[in-house]
């Protein structure tokens, strides 16, 4: 049977992608941030999943004001890299996992999560930057990917409660899939950041660190945090963090912390990164 073996949370700052693409990761500005991912890059070499379900948001790159699904799942064989205005990032296209993705779509929709099914999708920095942070610059991404897009850019966003429950439903669905697959769930975005308006540049590291503590130990408390608190305390784009709740919900009640990292600032963003594994013996 398929099994969820780990969850990864990471910011997906577009400037981080640009630093990798322009070989500037050793610059004084960037080096301390990339050092926090050195552990992760070696960890994933021995813990590489067959499939990574990457929970991310499209930043009105492929979707737009015309169409903005609340939750959408990519079931295609592959996904091209989206042109976000400067040409697509020079990274490999993303190989899908259509059989598991189709199973997930069926299971989750019948479990009352009304996912939009995407037979075509181009993925933006929200999905490709986490791949680059974990895998560096390979010719081909080492794992298959199921993109799970969440609307966090346009009101109304899904509630934290809905996100945590979706994670739990993903766990049930994966465990029902009749193939021995090592599956990880990645939650992307965050942490505190605001990229426009009078409070542009807002970063709230103590709030971010408390969010991480709670995500690890008491995610059920976090699920009731209102969107307004994310926006007030973590900036208007800080609400991307609801996507981490989906990852956490997929790991079961108790988790072990394998790696934890914070860095401030990267572009306008407080960078946060976690590797968590389901606690042994936890059902």
* Subset of 81-120 contacting ligand DHB (CB under 6 A): none
Among 12, 59, 103, 125, which one carries the catalytic annotation? 125
Question: Angle between the 160-175 and 98-110 helix axes, to the nearest 10 degrees?
Answer: 120
Q: Do 263 and 205 meet the contact criterion of CB atoms below 8 Å apart?
A: no
Give the residue, chosen from 18, 60, 195, 231, that forms a contact with ligand DHB under the rule CB under 6 A: 195
Residue placing its CB nearer to ligand DHB in the complex, 5 or 267: 267
Q: Is 144 in the site for ligand DHB (CB under 6 A)?
A: no
Give the residue, chosen from 89, 193, 263, 273, that forms a contact with ligand DHB under the rule CB under 6 A: 193
Q: Taking CB within 5 to 8 Å according to partner kind, which of ligand DHB, Fe ion, none is near residue 258?
A: none
Give the residue, chosen from 14, 147, 235, 249, that forms a contact with ligand DHB under the rule CB under 6 A: 14
In the complex, the smallest distance separating the C-beta of residue 266 from ligand DHB, rounded to whole angstroms, is 7
* Subset of 172-201 contacting Fe ion (CB under 5 A): 189
Give the residue, chosen from 20, 59, 128, 271, that forms a contact with ligand DHB under the rule CB under 6 A: 59
Q: Taking CB within 5 to 8 Å according to partner kind, which of Fe ion, ligand DHB, none is near residue 273?
A: none
Among 193, 227, 259, 263, which one carries the catalytic annotation? 193
Q: Is 193 a catalytic residue?
A: yes
Give the residue, chosen from 113, 268, 277, 278, that forms a contact with ligand DHB under the rule CB under 6 A: 268
Which contacts (CB < 8 Å, 24+ apart) does range 254-258 have?
254/278, 254/279, 254/282, 255/7, 255/216, 255/279, 256/280, 257/216, 258/6, 258/43
Q: Is 12 in the site for ligand DHB (CB under 6 A)?
A: yes
Q: Is 125 a catalytic residue?
A: yes
Question: How many residues contact ligand DHB, by CB under 6 A?
Answer: 12
Q: Is 61 in the site for ligand DHB (CB under 6 A)?
A: no
Q: Nearest 5°: phi and psi at 73?
A: -120, 135
Q: Taking CB within 5 to 8 Å according to partner kind, which of ligand DHB, Fe ion, none is near residue 268?
A: ligand DHB
In the complex, the smallest distance separating the C-beta of residue 14 from ligand DHB, rounded to whole angstroms, is 5
Q: Taking CB within 5 to 8 Å according to partner kind, which of Fe ion, ligand DHB, none is near residue 13?
A: ligand DHB
Q: Which residues bind ligand DHB (CB under 6 A)?
A: 12-15, 59, 189, 193, 195, 237, 267-269
Q: What amino acid positions are annotated as catalytic residues?
A: 125, 193
Q: Which residues bind Fe ion (CB under 5 A)?
A: 189
């Amino acid at each position: 049977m398929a099994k969820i073996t780990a969850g990864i949370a990471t910011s997906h700052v577009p400037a981080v992608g640009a630093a990798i693409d322009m070989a500037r990761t050793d610059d004084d500005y960037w080096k301390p941030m990339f050092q926090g991912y050195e552990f992760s890059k070696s960890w994933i070499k021995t813990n590489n999943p067959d499939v990574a379900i990457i929970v991310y948001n499209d930043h009105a790159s492929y979707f737009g004001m015309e169409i903005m699904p609340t939750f959408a799942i990519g079931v295609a064989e592959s996904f091209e890299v989206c042109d976000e205005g400067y040409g697509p990032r020079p990274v490999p296209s993303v190989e899908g996992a259509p059989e598991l993705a189709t199973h997930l779509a069926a299971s989750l929709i019948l479990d009352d999560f009304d996912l939009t099914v995407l037979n075509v999708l181009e993925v933006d920095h929200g999905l490709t930057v986490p791949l680059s942070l974990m895998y560096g610059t390979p010719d081909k991404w080492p794992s298959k990917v199921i993109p799970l897009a969440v609307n966090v850019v346009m009101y109304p966003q899904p509630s934290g409660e809905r996100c945590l429950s979706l994670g739990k439903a993903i766990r049930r669905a994966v465990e029902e899939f009749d193939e021995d697959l090592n599956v990880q769930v990645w939650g992307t975005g965050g942490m505190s950041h605001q990229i426009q308006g009078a409070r542009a540049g807002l970063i709230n590291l103590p709030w971010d660190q408390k969010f991480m503590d709670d995500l690890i130990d008491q995610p059920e408390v976090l699920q009731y945090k209102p969107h307004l608190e994310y926006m007030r305390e973590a900036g208007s784009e800080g609400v991307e963090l609801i996507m981490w709740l989906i990852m956490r919900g997929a790991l079961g009640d108790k988790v072990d912390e394998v790696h934890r990292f914070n860095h401030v600032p990267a572009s306008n963003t407080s960078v946060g990164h976690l590797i968590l594994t389901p606690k042994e013996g936890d059902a």
